[in-house]
Structure 1
Amino acid sequence: MNAPVKRFTFPNSLVIVFAMMVLAAVLTHIVPAGVYDLIPGTKLLDPATYHSIAQQGVSPWGLVDAVFAGMVKAGPIIVFTFLVGGYFQVLIASNAVDAFISYLVRALGSRSFLILPSLALIMSILGASGVMANPVVATIPIGVLLARKLGADRVTGVAVMFLAAYGGYATSPVCAMTVQIAQQISGLPMLSGFGFRCAVWLAFFLPTVAFIVHYANKVRQTPHAGVPEDDEEPPVTESATVPFNARHALAILGLAAGLCIYVWGSLTWHWGMNYMAGIMMLVAMFGALVTGMGMNGFVAGFLQGARQMTFSAMLIGLATGISVVLSEGHILHSIIYGMAVALDSLHDAMVAPVMFLFNLLFNFFVPSGSGQAAVVMPIMAPLADVVHVTRQTAVLAFQLGDGLSNVIFPTNGTMMACIAAAGVSYKAWAGRVLPLFLFWTALAVIVMLVAVAMGF
């Protein structure tokens, strides 16, 4: 009797990152050690000062110790992740966000020329704020119901919720888990480059809305172009909607006010992550108060959100351990030097697009935005100094590379959960979203070229 063939299971991101730590430790015994000097009075590398030093390979105990050292080094970011994740979950638990979306759907009815762009705009803004990074799964039943009312298919329902939210997340000017963490690691002021990133968000949002509306109209006119209703259809009923009331409105207004205050403070007074955490605490407490959750409800929601961030927090700490190993073995600058030599053969304008494409492919293995930032930015930021690209552009390359591929790479758990909730197979989803993803990729390359030309 033949033994059953085991199906390949893609390794967990934590397994991949730890394997990268082990590889980094091995490389400290192989790659020649070297360092750059810093430009006096700054933390920037002087590209003309690379020189070799004595080899200092990391020992097995050094590898083990790097796990703890990485957690300590990333401590502020890990704490920030737990706090902000918890505060956002309080707002989700208050049902204010779900109720607002349901109200918008009911208010605009079947007027697709209004409802799809309006809902996509709301979801994109929520995605950009970071509120809808993972909780977007809970909105999929609403999207599916709306799509049915409009005579479209379930892919339309997923697109107007998930695709719009993650398009906003990928191009966000303010997202705490991507932009702010990457800027913190790169030594940049919080929310610096806000204006240009807003323009990038708009440049991606408009064609995304056009794609969603065009697809919905195509399915209504040619039903066989959509996903058949009997394809793994999950039960979705009207009872999933939540009534919207004045308390929910106050909670939403509190969130909007808090984000606006933080953006203003960051641009005017250079507020850091501690202000974001403090403002979100006040926003969450206000939301819990006005919606009647009470302090027990606030604590329960916060703990649930913090638990959901455990994986991301561990990934950040472990990923930071990679840079600890590379730094202890004095090969981090050697890797930067090698990459700089390779990129030196390219035209200056092409360096940033290559950095974007690298991050795009890397996201397949580490789909966590905060985790990827912790892995790549300790290398990308100083590399930018050497190849004459600004650190701000390096952050943008990471942000777009990490974010855009989340709508099609099957390693993104949120995407897989969203299409499963709608009863859409991955094959059906990928086949319909691929044209938009390819357009996004081409647009991102253009954005990177513009960023370099502007000296962003």
Structure 2
Amino acid sequence: MSQAEANEPKKSKFKMPNVIVIMLSLMLVACLFTYIVPAGQFDTNEDGNPIPGTYGTIEQTPVNPVEALNLILDGGVQASTVIVLLLFMGGFFGAIFQLDSIPNIINYLVYKYKNIGAMALSLGLFTLMGFIGFFIGGDMMIVFVTLGVIMARQLRLDPISALAMTFLPLFMGFSVGPSGMAMLGQIFASDTPLFSGYSMRTIIFIIFLIITGLYVAWYTKRVESKPAKSLMSNDHWLKELDSETESEDAVKVDSVSWQDVTVLMIMIIAPIILAIGNTVLGWSEVYGNSTFITVFFIAFLLSFLIKRKSVDEMISSFTKGVQDMVIVAIVIILATTISVILTEGQILNTIVFMMTDQLDDLPLGISAIVIFIINMIFNFLVPSGSGLMGVMVPILEPVADVLGLTQQVLITAIGFGGGLGNLITPTLGATVGAIALARANFGSWLKFMIPLFILWMITGAFILYYLANINWTGY
């Protein structure tokens, strides 16, 4: 076998279906579940939260495929906040990327530091995204994937690497850090102060950041040295890179303008300001998610003023950025519709009851690990941080009290299962949306994630076992 043949990318006969086809298929599976799984419900208190020990079966209310299509509008209504944020932020980010400041600086860094390799440069972006995810999160953050795509193309890496540098650390940080899933759980818990356990969760975040960073470094080094080892199921990405003959010249940038540097600084500072405002100044409590649009609109406006662009150019670039997000918005709506179908079929409570019924027979540390696994599975049906916490915390809180499991450990276990599980969940709009944005496919992403997810599960299990046995209260 020649060297050229050895370096030739692997080709797969199987072609991953279009993401829209996948989501419609999952909607049909959800419909089937409403016929098979018994319908049931818990009684609820005055706040609408389920009361443990009150589960009972009710008359079956299956949802047929035609009714499921009718529920797409309901899915859109439920996802409307995320969709609006995604479209506006996609417009802002897309417009800023069209200024070429970010590509110019990436080209400069690749040219200036080409001797240190793709691994070091990709780790730099990975770390930055991880710390942004530590402070803020949400489906709209997938717009940062575009930055990963630019970096990956300049480093001749595959779309999986683009996701690994951006989407992966953003959502990992949100899942295990103190400002993401943990904060959502503390909102629903009866006696846990917001942001309590901050120090321990910061340590947990650093542990996961190191493990994940080492895995990403290994993968990017592997693809850089031999593109044939990419986990992409096709070689389209490599052919596109090879066809861009002008990209070789683009990399040879030996200087950047002060305008480009300023635009980059605005892009870095904007999410930091947002994180400080939401966590320290309490913006999120007063304005909700509206601050995302405000902060990034100002960043967008300043960037275009610095680059001396006209109003027409601003609007045209913003519109193009929004267009790139439309398919992602549709995917998120369909993913939300799956949850609506399961709710209309009244089978979510049945699944929760079946999963949690035997927890009181397990040792303390093992119970925490089982709660982690249960929520990872249940997250497939309710791939929403607030939705998962809203369903599981009220039900599991009394169970945890009986077991002697602290609320902090309970919240951490649910957060691990739901947050980390989101990164391999095809029913989460952000996950499939990010994959679509990177022009990857879910099958290839899953192959990349499975070894890492096993490492996460082992790490999470050890952490939960330790926290449960030291009776961690977080304050």
After TM superposition, is the score higher than 0.5?
A: yes
SS in 1 for 2:115: coil
Residue 95 of structure 2 is aligned to residue 90 of structure 1: yes
* Contact 2:40 2:350 survives alignment (8 Å): yes
* Contact 1:102 1:244 survives alignment (8 Å): no
Residue 123 of structure 2 is aligned to residue 120 of structure 1: yes
Q: 1:14: which partner in 2?
A: 20
Distance 2:454 2:64 in 1: 44
Residue 248 of structure 2 is aligned to residue 238 of structure 1: yes
Q: 2:351: which partner in 1?
A: 335
Q: 2:289 aligns with which of 240, 248, 273?
A: 273
Distance 1:285 1:194 in 2: 38
Distance 2:260 2:104 in 1: 7
Aligned-pair CA distance for 1:438: 4.8
Q: 1:150: which partner in 2?
A: none
Choose 265-274 or 95-104, whichever is displaced more: 95-104
Q: Which runs of no fewer than 5 residues in structure 1 stay unpaired?
A: 1-5, 145-153, 220-224, 367-371, 420-425
Structure 1 residues 40-85: Cα deviation after superposition (integer angstroms, max 9, x where no partner): 4x44322222233344444665433211112112211221221222
Distance 1:31-1:193 versus aligned 2 partners, 3 A rule: same
Aligned-pair CA distance for 1:382: 0.8
Q: 1:45: which partner in 2?
A: 50
Choose 296-305 or 67-76, whichever is displaced more: 296-305
Residue 321 of structure 2 is aligned to residue 305 of structure 1: yes
Q: 2:109 aligns with which of 95, 104, 118?
A: 104
Q: 2:272 aligns with which of 235, 260, 265?
A: 260
Distance 1:450-1:413 versus aligned 2 partners, 3 A rule: same
Structure 1 residues 233-282: Cα deviation after superposition (integer angstroms, max 9, x where no partner): 64364322365221122222222332122112211315121111221121
Q: 1:70: which partner in 2?
A: 75
Aligned-pair CA distance for 1:356: 6.4
* Contact 1:116 1:213 survives alignment (8 Å): yes
SS in 1 for 2:37: coil
Aligned-pair CA distance for 1:194: 10
Distance 2:229 2:455 in 1: 30
Q: Which amino acid aligns with 1:257?
A: I
Distance 1:318-1:443 versus aligned 2 partners, 3 A rule: same
Distance 1:213 1:289 in 2: 37
* Contact 2:372 2:416 survives alignment (8 Å): no
Matches within 5 A, 1:37-436: 37-40=43-46, 42-58=47-63, 62-108=67-113, 110=115, 117=120, 120-126=123-129, 128=132, 130=141, 131-144=143-156, 163-173=164-174, 195=198, 198-210=202-214, 226-227=225-226, 234-235=241-242, 237-241=247-251, 244-267=256-279, 268-271=281-284, 272-341=288-357, 347-355=366-374, 358=377, 373-374=383-384, 378=387, 381-388=390-397, 390=410, 393-403=413-423, 413=435, 417=439
* Contact 2:175 2:415 survives alignment (8 Å): no
Choose 46-55 or 235-244, whichever is displaced more: 235-244
Structure 1 residues 8-44: Cα deviation after superposition (integer angstroms, max 9, x where no partner): 543334333333333434444443332223344x443
Structure 1 residues 370-422: Cα deviation after superposition (integer angstroms, max 9, x where no partner): xx835x8645641343234755653443332233799xx99984698579xxx
Structure 1 residues 272-301: Cα deviation after superposition (integer angstroms, max 9, x where no partner): 211112211211222222123433333233
Structure 1 residues 418-450: Cα deviation after superposition (integer angstroms, max 9, x where no partner): 79xxxxxx79x979x986665445334445556
The alignment covers a number of residue pairs equal to: 406
Distance 1:96 1:193 in 2: 40
Distance 1:391-1:381 versus aligned 2 partners, 3 A rule: farther
Q: Which amino acid aligns with 1:298?
A: M
* Contact 2:91 2:319 survives alignment (8 Å): yes
Distance 2:289 2:92 in 1: 14
Q: TM-score, normalised by structure 2?
A: 0.68
* Contact 2:160 2:440 survives alignment (8 Å): yes
* Contact 2:129 2:169 survives alignment (8 Å): yes
Q: Which amino acid aligns with 2:22?
A: I
Q: Which amino acid aligns with 1:206?
A: I
Q: Which amino acid aligns with 1:227?
A: K
Structure 1 residues 182-226: Cα deviation after superposition (integer angstroms, max 9, x where no partner): 959x9799x968956654443233345556777899x8xxxxx94
Q: Which amino acid aligns with 2:226?
A: V
Q: TM-score, normalised by structure 1?
A: 0.70
SS in 2 for 1:402: helix
Distance 1:337 1:68 in 2: 29
Distance 1:430 1:117 in 2: 23
Aligned-pair CA distance for 1:317: 1.8
Choose 262-271 or 446-455, whichever is displaced more: 446-455
Distance 1:194 1:336 in 2: 27
Choose 311-320 or 396-405, whichever is displaced more: 396-405
Distance 1:304 1:193 in 2: 42
Q: Which runs of no fewer than 5 residues in structure 2 stay unpaired?
A: 1-11, 134-140, 398-406
Distance 1:11 1:216 in 2: 26
